[in-house]
Amino acid sequence: MDKFMDAAIEEARKGRAENGIPIGSVLVLDGKIVARGHNQRIQKGSAVLHAEMDCLENAGRLTAADYKRSTLYSTLSPCDMCSGAVLLYGIPKVVIGENKTFQGPEEYVKSRGVELIVLDSQECKELMNELISTKPELWNEDIGE
Amino acid sequence: MDKFMDAAIEEARKGRAENGIPIGSVLVLDGKIVARGHNQRIQKGSAVLHAEMDCLENAGRLTAADYKRSTLYSTLSPCDMCSGAVLLYGIPKVVIGENKTFQGPEEYVKSRGVELIVLDSQECKELMNELISTKPELWNEDIGE
Q: So which residues of A are the catalytic ones?
A: 52
Along the 145 residues of chain A, how does pLDDT read in single tens digits? 699 999 999 999 999 999 999 999 999 999 999 999 999 999 999 999 999 999 999 999 999 999 999 999 999 999 999 999 999 999 999 999 999 999 999 999 999 999 999 999 999 999 999 999 999 999 999 999 9
What's the pLDDT tens digit per position in B95-110?
999 999 999 999 999 9
Residue B143 has pLDDT above 90, yes or no: yes
What's the pLDDT tens digit per position in B57-103?
999 999 999 999 999 999 999 999 999 999 999 999 999 999 999 99
Residue B49 has pLDDT above 70, yes or no: yes
Chain A positions touching B88 (Cβ under 8 A) are 79-81, 143-144
Chain B positions touching A60 (Cβ under 8 A) are 45, 47
Average pLDDT in the B18-42 region? 98
pLDDT at A124: 98
**Per-residue pLDDT band at B51 (split at 50, 70, 90):** very high
Q: Which residue of chain A has the CA closest to B81?
A: A84
Q: Phi-psi category of A100—alpha, beta or left, where left has phi over 0 and alpha has psi -120 to 50?
A: alpha
**Per-residue pLDDT band at B52 (split at 50, 70, 90):** very high
pLDDT at A110: 98
Q: CA B45, B50, B51, B54 torsion: positive or negative?
A: negative
Q: Which helix (H) or strand (E) holds B15?
A: helix B3-17
Q: CA of B122, closest CA in chain A: separation in Å?
A: 25
Q: CA of B84, closest CA in chain A: separation in Å?
A: 4
In this structure, how many other beta carbons lie within 10 angstroms of the beta carbon of residue B1?
Answer: 12
Q: Which helix (H) or strand (E) holds A71?
A: strand A70-76
What's the pLDDT tens digit per position in B117-141?
999 999 999 999 999 999 999 999 9
pLDDT at B145: 94
Residue B1 has pLDDT above 80, yes or no: no
pLDDT at A1: 65
Closest CA to B52 of B71, B28, B72: B72
Contact A50, A82 (CB under 8 A): yes
